[in-house]
Amino acid sequence: MIALEHVSLVRGNRTLVRDATCALRPGALTVMLGANGAGKTSLVRLMSGELEPNRGRVTCSCKSLAQHSRTALARCRAVVSQHTSTPFAFRALDLVLLGRLPHSRFPSVADFAIAREAMEQAGVTEFAERKVDTLSGGERQRVHLARALAQLHEARSTGRGLLLLDEPTAHLDLAHQRHALDLARTIASEGLTVLAVLHDVNLAATYADEALLMKDGCIHAIGPAREVLTLARLRETLRVELEEIPRANGPSVFVPTRTTAA
């Protein structure tokens, strides 16, 4: 379990995260929503250990992140960032193999098999020999997802791990958005803790077990998705007028209210 206890993050004279307390439930897909600048990416970076809080603490399995070695954390925690640029002209397969570094200093036959399995699950096997810098933004995003799957191979077998996805559907068409979130649900069903930052309210309502709303650096609400993703809360958090369209089967659909030009 990953948890935050009264965590604040300050950079310069700006508070990016303010007194955040929450615990993500293992075995559930938690979706985070919020307006631009609400603190979503900062919260993900705190949970991953990339950033250290100015106040409070982040814990994993009831111990602060500082008490875990970097290698131990890397073996059970993977992150897919919203920024997927790579400094070198890796083949896609080579990039996915980077997910095996916490487990093996040099890739073995087994590591290659795990990497190829991860690529198949992410639907990027056809790109294995392609240079990453020749891929589209969406294709690169899917390769990075495969890298995270390769990294969490052992964690998935034990049902103990953490996957952080910062805008995993960015640059993806509808079919691949569905595939990525179906995969996130599958990983959560294996017992892992999965957090995905999304901007699409309706994707969140469709896929989330739990929802976390961020506003002005604060956790505005967290809990079961059907209780958190209400019209009033979404209007307040996202700062936009929405209309709710109920459906007989499944969650309501939320659409922005059209404004009329003056």
Identify each DSSP E strand in the chain by its residue range: 2-11, 14-23, 29-34, 55-60, 63-64, 77-80, 162-166, 193-197, 210-215, 218-224, 242-245, 253-256
Report the alpha-carbon distance of residue 86 to residue 2 in Å, rounded: 28
Give the confidence band of 171 by pLDDT, cuts at 50, 70, 90.
confident
Cα gap 66→60, rounded to integer Å: 10
Closest to 33 in 3D by CA, of 223, 174, 191, 171: 223
The mean per-residue pLDDT over the stretch 210-214 comes to: 97
Mean pLDDT of 66-75: 90
- Residue 260 has a pLDDT of 58
Half-sphere exposure at residue 98, Cβ-oriented, CA atoms within 13 angstroms: 17
- Topology (CATH) of 2-256: Rossmann fold (3.40.50)
Q: How far apart are CA 191 and CA 57, in angstroms?
A: 24
Q: For residue 91, which phi and psi values (nearest 5 degrees)?
A: -70, 155
